[in-house]
Structure 1
Amino acid sequence: MTGWIKEFKEFAVRGNVMDMAVGVIIGAAFGKIVTSLVNDVIMPPIGLLAGGMDFSNLFINLSGTPAATLAEAKAASLPVIAYGSFINTVINFLIQAWAIFLVVKCANKLRKPAPEAPKPEPRLCPYCFSEVNEKATRCPHCTSELK
């Protein structure tokens, strides 16, 4: 049993697991920021342009009982299709995807590829000017002896 606990401890404190945990926590916080951006900043102007419509309150009442708002329908436990919430969620997803795309694009720009080692000048035969291996003593093309 002790080997099992030791193995789990090594797994839990491994760098990849810790990095993933930090990523999940940051991602959750980032999701809250984007949700607030969508609900509090982006959706009100879109609703205004759409004639003062509040997307989060759009729903289809599946029962015969009338309900003026989604909150009223949910309080009465009426079956509803809350497609306005779905619209908000889709817009939220698109904004998160766009923001993550921009972050990854910026991170890729910051990460510079390792510079390639310059290729040495090829050795040329002084007689036929063909490329010759550095260790060769004779040119394989014209068979001249090389220095």
Structure 2
Amino acid sequence: MPINDSQIILPNNTRKASVAHPYVMPPLTRLRIQQSFRNAKPIIGRKILKRASTLRNELKIFVNNLNNETTNKLEENIFRLVVNCVANVDFPSKVASNSFAFGEFFAQFCIFGFRPDFFSTIADAMVAECVRQDGGAQKR
């Protein structure tokens, strides 16, 4: 189900007005994020999944029980989610749609032991790997 920008609720409980607030984040922050991922390689999906597996033993068991082809698909989907979110950072509805599709993709793995609470571990690993991708090149 697609989400439009008028359905996005901002932290202060106000609805996003596309005209009044054209950007979700300051332009400098957006630029830093986009520049950090200009040269991102698909291997970041593997690194994120590997880091997530080290953070949570149940996730490690789940990943270890998958065949290589399926693991590669998971890594590819993680990479695509990060790249699509960075590319659409100014469009919350597109980020939400990409995230929803990402969740739908993982739903098929519930019969193999995937649990929805693994998403928080994957998100933590994404943040850690994204900071690592940046290499601390951006000053605060």
Bigger relative contact order, structure 1 or 2 (CA pairs below 8 A, ≥6 apart)? 2
Q: Same fold (TM over 0.5)?
A: no
Normalized per residue, the structure richer in strand is 1
More helix by share: 2
Instruction: Indicate the TM-score class for this superposition, using the shorter chain for normalisation.
Output: under 0.3
Q: TM-score, normalised by structure 1?
A: 0.22
